[in-house]
Amino acid sequence: QVQLVESGGGLVQAGGSLRLSCAASGRSFSSYGMGWFRQAPGKEREFVGGISWSGGSTSYADSVKGRITISRDNAKNTVYLQMNSLKPEDTALYYCARHVLPWHGLTADPTDFGSWGQGTQVTVSS
């Protein structure tokens, strides 16, 4: 069973940047696509972005496109979420997740992800 541990969240002023990390335990990390999701209080969990198993493809939600970059280091079993030009509406608990199936294409559907981290809080002040 894979374990995912997010880190890097915190309090930042609007316009600032944060880099979140998600470290995965176990083998076969490089075989799975990864995703980042977020959930703000009173709202549903929403897709932020994803990266393919090879790192060659990424996808981003329209709400963050142009402000975030997802990357991965398969040698370190880690996926990253670089967030720039942060806005108060980016405030949420951010989760990383691993796709259910290896070698699968990019997807934004949370039901396609079978393993989730505990989340790291990002708070953006105005």
Residue 46 has pLDDT above 90, yes or no: yes
pLDDT: is 27 or 121 the higher one?
A: 121
Q: Give residue 68's pLDDT band: very low, low, confident or very high (50, 70, 90).
A: very high
pLDDT, one tens digit per residue, over 80-101 is 999 999 999 999 999 999 999 9
Report DSSP letters for 48-109, one per residue: EEEE-TTSS-EEE-TTTTTTEEEEEETTTTEEEEEE-S--GGG-EEEEEEEEEEETPPP---
Whole-number pLDDT of residue 9: 98
